[in-house]
Amino acid sequence: MTTIKLHNTRTRTKEDFVPIDPDNVRMYVCGPTVYDRAHLGNARPVVVFDVLYRLLRHVYGPEHVTYVRNFTDVDDKINATALARKQAGAEGTLEQLVQERSDETIGWYLHDMGALGALEPDQMPRATRYIDQMIAMIEDLIAKGHAYEAEGHVLFAVDSWRDEYGKLSGRSVDDMIAGARVEVAPYKKNPMDFVLWKPSDDELPGWESPWGRGRPGWHIECSAMSYELLGESFDIHGGGNDLMFPHHENEIAQSKCAHPHGEFARYWLHNEMLQVEGKKMSKSLGNFFTVHDLLDQGVPGEVIRFVFLQTHYRKPMDWTEKKAREAEATLRKWRALTAGIEPAASAAPAVIEALADDLNTAGALAELHRLASDGDAATLLASARVLGLLEPDMGAWAETDGVDLSAHADRLSRVRAEAMQTKDFSEVDRLKAAYLAAGLEVRMSKDGVELVPGAGFDASRLEGVE
């Protein structure tokens, strides 16, 4: 059996992955807060952990892997939208309007991530369905002396776990107090103490609890849901490296204190962030866009996925239009090469070896390039599918729907030759504009005319172009 090596944030080394139970390999990944469309950066962990999920299924068998990714549907931004709708006269209770907003956003999320070829996790728990389990865990933490109630809040007492707190991200509690922006509140015993439960007023959704009507803090949901669905010890915990502190530190503190005999997660994986054209993506820089925006502009989901896979998950990834164009050209070539071919019985060993080496997706793509240049279409197809590429249901964008592009190129070439004589180029311009509008790149040289499908090529737009 292939040995997978993974870089474990907890030990800061690349380790052989040894599952607790090879018949049930368990992975938990922190999912999105569902208040709006996912931006491109949100999609990175989805693709990274989808590749790991596919690799685990490949090595251990699809029925022996359990992947859980949560939806955070308790959040002030969701509340704000729901409250605005209620004040505008929408029907239903605030809790119902919150749920309506979350349902809508979850639908968008699953659609957009599906377009990137991400398999749906086995379980996608929503925080609001696990409130009872969170309350039980908080009560347990209070009973064990790791949490305390103050002014309607319940806080985790960091001092009760002082020697362990901060180990994942490699800092001491004193360093954290000095360096972090912590919310100072008079009822906190230590400024690093974090909220497990907080009170809700009438304008906020809330649930009855031993501490009054309120709602859970963010961190407790992952501890409660991972325990409920995967047990007190599981294999892999993943997320973006922006979650390492405080979110993951707090998850560890809660889970290990509530279940002192469990290990919580053995292997911690963190992906690096995403940039756009060399800059951090932000609304103020005007380079902020969602996955939906890109899909809408005609960038195929498979192309986005390919660009992501070119960079190792522990390195910052730079999204550029140039990379997207090149990825599209490569995929178009590979799709043409593998059209009508049955995939080989197994993927190329070199592709699996690259992935098993801490998800070296760039190395795996290099192997795919090699297979393509060797003309081994069947192995290329089988290997690409381990990476979630060249899947049959993701290729509609690359189809020319039987349109004969060379006939169009010949027509433009003929019209151009006539225009050279008459000096009237209006017909050339008209045709060229129609081809560009269909997403074709028009290359004219003295040797002739070539029409190349570009980003967003839509064969249906060529109907009626005469």
Question: Residue 401: which residues within 8 A CB-CB, separation 6 or more?
Answer: 459, 460
In the annotated binding site for Zn(2+), the residues are 30, 222, 247, 251
Residue 418 · residue 402 · CB < 8 Å: no
For the CB of residue 70, give the shortest distance to Zn ion in the complex, in Å.
7
Considering beta carbons, is residue 263 or 318 the nearer one to Zn ion?
A: 263
Considering beta carbons, is residue 29 or 438 the nearer one to Zn ion?
A: 29
User: Using CA atoms, how far apart are residues 202 and 200, in angstroms rounded to an integer?
Assistant: 7
For the CB of residue 435, give the shortest distance to Zn ion in the complex, in Å.
49
Closest CA to 56 of 10, 13, 11, 6: 6
Considering beta carbons, is residue 48 or 462 the nearer one to Zn ion?
A: 48
User: Using CA atoms, how far apart are residues 256 and 68, in angstroms rounded to an integer?
Assistant: 19
Establish if 356 lies at the interface with Zn ion (CB under 5 A). Answer: no
Per CB under 5 A, the segment of 26-34, 147-155, 269-277, 343-351 that binds Zn ion is: 26-34
Dihedral of the alpha carbons of 80, 86, 92, 93, in degrees to the nearest 10: 50
Per CB under 5 A, the segment of 27-35, 130-138, 321-329, 333-341 that binds Zn ion is: 27-35
For the CB of residue 27, give the shortest distance to Zn ion in the complex, in Å.
13
Considering beta carbons, is residue 30 or 347 the nearer one to Zn ion?
A: 30
Establish if 222 lies at the interface with Zn ion (CB under 5 A). Answer: yes
Per CB under 5 A, the segment of 117-125, 218-226, 303-311, 386-394 that binds Zn ion is: 218-226
In the annotated binding site, the residues are 30, 222, 247, 251, 283
What is the 3-state secondary structure of 159-207?
Answer: HHHCCCCCCCCCCCHHHHHHHCCCCCCCCCCCCCCEEEEEECCCCCCCE
Establish if 309 lies at the interface with Zn ion (CB under 5 A). Answer: no
In the numeric block, the tokens 């279409």 are attached to 377
Residue 55 vs residues 119, 207, 376: alpha-carbon distances, Å: 12, 40, 22
Per CB under 5 A, the segment of 29-37, 109-117, 252-260, 351-359 that binds Zn ion is: 29-37
User: Using CA atoms, how far apart are residues 46 and 115, in angstroms rounded to an integer?
Assistant: 12
Considering beta carbons, is residue 32 or 301 the nearer one to Zn ion?
A: 32
Tell which one of 29, 30, 68, 94 touches Zn ion (CB under 5 A): 30
Per CB under 5 A, the segment of 24-32, 91-99, 144-152, 371-379 that binds Zn ion is: 24-32
User: Using CA atoms, how far apart are residues 228 and 8, in angstroms rounded to an integer?
Assistant: 24
Count, residues near Zn ion per rule CB under 5 A: 2
Both tokens assigned to 299: 């960038």
For the CB of residue 210, give the shortest distance to Zn ion in the complex, in Å.
24
Residue 30 · residue 340 · CB < 8 Å: no
Contact residues toward Zn ion (CB under 5 A) are 30, 222
